[in-house]
Each structure stands twice: as structure tokens, then as C-alpha cells.
A and B are shown apart, each in its own frame.
Chain A
Amino acid sequence: MIVFEQVSKRYPGGHEALSEVSFELRHGELVVLSGHSGAGKSTLLKMIPVLERPTSGRVLINNQDISHLPRAGIPYLRRSLGLMLQDNRLLYDRNVFDNIVLPLVIGGMAPKDAARRVHAALERVGLGGRDQEMPIGLSGGEQQRVAIARAIVKRPSILIADEPTAHLDAAYAHEIAELFQSFKSVGVTVIVCTHDPALFAETRPRRLVLRHGKLIEGAE
């Protein structure tokens, strides 16, 4: 489903964030990506929605090489992914409903269907009935849940999360981790980047470990 083939990324100035990384993820896998700060975790995740492009090597999603995807094709690739990057990137001038419905509006879904999907996603993350609240009035954990609801509302087959439990206390972090583990059970491929892989240990996920841009664990 997702294949990295000898992927390297060197930034202008010479810093090599990734060095010949290769691995293959199968449909419905839960993958925990870990490593020290600056190991290249975020760079690796950003290559899947083409927020970054490899300097060399190839990234394939469903057998399509996205390393050289034309600019016009990128939005359509991103619509097929559930993305939750570092900091939740909510829009604080809109209510919870308008934040979560955004990917569906972008995708051109009819308003009634979109509203049903939003309410279902909110139920899924335990925030049913709070669609009219403003994000600023929610706790940090609840805001993370809104971001997760926005990521899953499209029912993507691939869900990518970069440090979804960062800045959360232990109880909230555990709840979020359980939520991600539950997506695996419905066939979603989940890639979670975290400093704390132990949070996800319960379901024995596949682990990918990066060190200084090299994949040192989980290639096979």
C-alpha cells in the first residue's frame, strides 16, 4: 500500500534528513514511527502527502509513484489521506462543525451527507453534540480529538498522525492512543509518529525506528 524505496532527503545546506530508507506498509497495519528529535520522522511522514519530495528514491502509494506527482495532482492525493500533523491546525475562528466539515466541503460532498459524516466522526471521538462549540473553549485533549475527527471524517484508508499525543497529560494521551488503535480494527492503515511508543504497545503495532535519518528497525 505504501512503499518507500531507497528514499533520501537532503535539504539545501547539506543536512541529510533521510538516508536510503526502504520499507513497505500493508493495508490495515498500525505502524508506530519513533526516533530521537531530528531523526527524520516528520520528514518521512511529510513525504506521503507530498509536503516534501525525496531527493532520491521513490515513494509509492497503491502502486502510484508520488515522488514526481505533478502539482495539480497533489490536492487529490491529499483528499484520500487522513492527516494530523504536529499541532492540531484547527481554525479558531470557526466552530467545531465547520472545522470538521472542511475536508468534505473541499471534496465537494453534498451538505446533508457532510453533516451526517461530521456528527458520526464527532461521536467516534467522543465529542457528540459539541459541534457548535468554538475550539478555543475546548481542552487540549478535546482539541486533539477535533483534529482526529477532521482527519477521519473522509473515512480515509490511510491515517497519518505526527505526535498526536504531544503536550497531553497521561490520561488524555492514553485515550488518544486507544482511539488510533481502534482505527486499525476497521481496516485503516495508521502511521503514528511518537516519542512515546509505549502508549501504543497494547496492540503490538509494527515499529519503525529512525536514527540520524536511517531506518534501524522495522524495515521488514
Chain B
Amino acid sequence: MMGAWSYQHRKAIAHAVGRLLRQPLGTLLSALVVGIALALPAGGFVLVDNVASLARGVTGSPEISLYLSLDATDADVAEIESRLRKQDALSAVQFVPRDVALKQLADNGLADVLDGLERNPLPHAFIVTPRQEDPALFEQLHQTFAAWPKIDHVQLDAAWVQRMHSLLALVELGVSLLAALLGAALVIITFNTIRLQILTQRAEIDVTRLLGATDAFIRRPFYWLGCLQGLLGGLVAWAIVTGSISLLRGSVESLAQAYGAVFALNGPNPTQVAGLLVVAVTLGWLGTALSVRRHLRESE
């Protein structure tokens, strides 16, 4: 029984492949339309991924500075350091004594100004590095530290990281919307292709129905056809995205070097390629399912 089932699928696949090969121009055009529709969001996601990794590289590890009150004693410093070291969310804690801060300021060319001061106006400070670049975590740590005694001011040294994350999230949302719209277009394209196939195979459908074919048997070749068309479109999209990135890579690297940065534009990784193909096949299947459900009933 299993052999017969797989034989029926092999037959259905051969039938679908035969249909695609018998109409090479139509197959090519469909694959190009589906491929271009998929390449736009797929390329968008790959670019967002590249920009995110660039942002990580440029900012290094964002830090938080904690400035203590001027009246903070050594005991207060020890207490705060102890609290900081118990924080699992932090990967590094560095204490900057007020004398060291003053010296750093003097070394930076402000020695004349500082010489005129009666006493050191700078407080003790801690510079801490969170383990994750999560804006929510930064905000949470900011509020926690600000509530501690003898903490005068908490400064997020990489506030723009948060803005960058927000911007990337916005771009990602835009690309997702584009993907949804073009995905719907792909479903409609497949729906129409299968509708035309059903119309041209009307006689065959009638005969198989007469000979005792179930709906599942009749639908099977169409499902394979829709999925194969989706797969071909996915492969075209992969080729477009990879080709475009290859073309852009040199120019982008030159631009990055001009700004003193090292940046390589990466193409889709194997997981992203697999995801693209799965989405393409799934959308092809969905378009087919909608089409056969509607048109096979009509043809009875």
C-alpha cells in the first residue's frame, strides 16, 4: 500500500515536472515573477541583518556610568562595588576614583583650568558593561542604579544604541509588511496559474473522476505543481539576492574603509536560504490549496 502511495506521488511529481518542462517560457516567467516578488523582502531582511551587525561592531560594548555623590565615603564605594558585582546582568565593573578622573581630565588638556580649582570637583564613578545589548535591560539597570543610595547620576553611555535598535526594528517592520504584501501577491499568482491548469486539464479531471479518483488524487499533481513553482521562485530569489550582494560588496567595503571601518556585506546564510525556500514552497502550496478548493468544485 505504501509502495502504491509513493508511486502515486512519484507519478504526480513526474506529471507536474512534465507540465513545467512542456511550457518552458511560461515556467521561466512564473519563476521570475515569484522570484522577484520574494527577492525584495528577502534582500531587505539580509540588509537589515548586515546593518545590525555593523551597528554592533561600531558601538563596541555599550556601557553605563554611575557617578557617586561627592560626600560618598570609601565604605559607600565598597558597598556599591559589592552590589554591582552581585549583578548577573553585568559582564564588567570598573571603579574610577575621583583622583584618577581628575588626572584623566588634566591629561586631556584641561590642566590649567583644574589648577585654578580649590578642590577636586569630580565624584567617584563606576563604569559597568551589561552582558546584553538589550534596550529594555539598559533601562531596567538605569532605574535600579539610580535608586541606590549615594548614586548621584546614572548615565547611559550608548543611548544611541537604543535609538539604533528602534530604527532597525522600524525598518524590520517595514520589510515585514513588504514581505506580507508580496507574499499575498505570490499566493494570487499561484492561485491563477493553478486555475488555468485546472481549466486546461478539465477533460483529464473529468475522466479520472469518472474512473473513481478521490478529490485528494485529483488535487495531488496540482499541489506538486504549485510547490515546485514556489520552489523555483525561491531559487530565483536566492540567486537575485546573492548576485545583488556580490555586486554591492566591493562598493560597500570601499565606503566602510573610507570611514575607517572594516565591514563585509554578507549574503544569506544557509538558515536564511532554507527559510526562504520553505516560505516560497509554503506560499505556492497555499495558493494551490485555495485554487483547487474553489475550482475543482466548480468543475464537477
Q: Which residues of A contact B (CB under 8 A)?
A: 49, 51, 72, 75-79, 83, 85, 89, 91, 102-103, 105-111, 150
In the bound complex, residues from chain A placing their C-beta under 8 Å from that of B25 are none
In the complex with contacts A89-B206, A91-B207, A106-B7 CB distance below 8 A = no
- Is B11 at the interface (CB under 8 A from chain A)? yes
Verify B8–A89 contact, CB threshold 8 A.
no
A82 to B7, CA, bound (A): 23
A110 to B207, CA, bound (A): 21
Task: Select one of A78, A79, A105 contacting B11, CB under 8 A.
Answer: A105
Name the residue of chain B whose CB is nearest to the CB of A92: B203
- Is B117 at the interface (CB under 8 A from chain A)? no
Task: Select one of A79, A89, A111 contacting B7, CB under 8 A.
Answer: A111
Task: Select one of A51, A106, A108, A110 contacting B208, CB under 8 A.
Answer: A106
Verify A75–B7 contact, CB threshold 8 A.
no
Task: Select one of B1, B3, B217 contacting A106, CB under 8 A.
Answer: B217
Task: Select one of A76, A83, A110 contacting B3, CB under 8 A.
Answer: A110
Q: What is the CB-to-nearest-CB distance from B291 to chain A, in angstroms, rounded to a whole number?
A: 20
Task: Select one of A51, A108, A150 contacting B8, CB under 8 A.
Answer: A108
In the complex with contacts A89-B206, A91-B203, A91-B204, A102-B211 CB distance below 8 A = yes
In the bound complex, residues from chain B placing their C-beta under 8 Å from that of A102 are 207-208, 211
Verify B4–A110 contact, CB threshold 8 A.
yes
In the bound complex, residues from chain A placing their C-beta under 8 Å from that of B7 are 105, 110-111
A108 to B2, CA, bound (A): 9
Q: Which residues of B contact A (CB under 8 A)?
A: 1, 3-5, 7-8, 11, 203-204, 206-214, 217
A to B CB contacts below 8 Å, 22 in the list: A49-B210, A75-B213, A75-B214, A75-B217, A76-B212, A78-B210, A78-B211, A79-B211, A79-B212, A85-B210, A89-B203, A89-B206, A89-B210, A91-B207, A102-B211, A105-B7, A105-B11, A106-B211, A106-B213, A106-B217, A108-B8, A110-B3
Q: What is the CB-to-nearest-CB distance from B182 to chain A, in angstroms, rounded to a whole number?
A: 35
Name the residue of chain B whose CB is nearest to the CB of A98: B11
Verify A78–B212 contact, CB threshold 8 A.
yes
8 closest A-B pairs by CB: A79-B212, A78-B212, A108-B4, A103-B211, A75-B212, A75-B214, A106-B213, A89-B207
Q: By CB atoms of chain A within 10 A, which of B207, B210, B211, B214 has the most? A: B211
Verify A83–B210 contact, CB threshold 8 A.
yes
In the bound complex, residues from chain A placing their C-beta under 8 Å from that of B203 are 89, 91
A77 to B7, CA, bound (A): 23
Q: What is the CB-to-nearest-CB distance from A83 to chain B, in angstroms, rounded to a whole number?
A: 6
In the bound complex, residues from chain B placing their C-beta under 8 Å from that of A51 are 210
- Known contacts A51-B210, A77-B212, A102-B208; 9 further A-B pairs (Cβ under 8 A): A75-B209, A83-B210, A83-B211, A89-B206, A89-B210, A105-B11, A108-B1, A108-B8, A111-B7
In the bound complex, residues from chain A placing their C-beta under 8 Å from that of B204 are 91
A83 to B209, CA, bound (A): 11
A106 to B209, CA, bound (A): 9
A89 to B214, CA, bound (A): 18
In the bound complex, residues from chain B placing their C-beta under 8 Å from that of A79 are 211-212
Q: What is the CB-to-nearest-CB distance from A115 to chain B, in angstroms, rounded to a whole number?
A: 11
Q: What is the CB-to-nearest-CB distance from A119 to chain B, in angstroms, rounded to a whole number?
A: 18
A85 to B212, CA, bound (A): 14
Verify B5–A108 contact, CB threshold 8 A.
yes
Q: What is the CB-to-nearest-CB distance from A106 to chain B, in angstroms, rounded to a whole number?
A: 5
Q: What is the CB-to-nearest-CB distance from A91 to chain B, in angstroms, rounded to a whole number?
A: 6
Name the residue of chain A whose CB is nearest to the CB of B4: A108
Q: By CB atoms of chain B within 10 A, which of A76, A77, A89 has the most? A: A89
Q: What is the CB-to-nearest-CB distance from B58 to chain A, in angstroms, rounded to a whole number?
A: 61
A107 to B203, CA, bound (A): 19
Name the residue of chain A whose CB is nearest to the CB of B214: A75
Q: What is the CB-to-nearest-CB distance from B230 to chain A, in angstroms, rounded to a whole number?
A: 25
In the bound complex, residues from chain B placing their C-beta under 8 Å from that of A106 are 208, 211-213, 217
Name the residue of chain A whose CB is nearest to the CB of B5: A108
Q: What is the CB-to-nearest-CB distance from B2 to chain A, in angstroms, rounded to a whole number?
A: 10
Q: What is the CB-to-nearest-CB distance from B279 to chain A, in angstroms, rounded to a whole number?
A: 32
A105 to B212, CA, bound (A): 10
Q: What is the CB-to-nearest-CB distance from B284 to chain A, in angstroms, rounded to a whole number?
A: 24
Verify A103–B212 contact, CB threshold 8 A.
yes
Name the residue of chain B whose CB is nearest to the CB of A72: B214
In the bound complex, residues from chain A placing their C-beta under 8 Å from that of B5 are 108
In the bound complex, residues from chain A placing their C-beta under 8 Å from that of B206 are 89
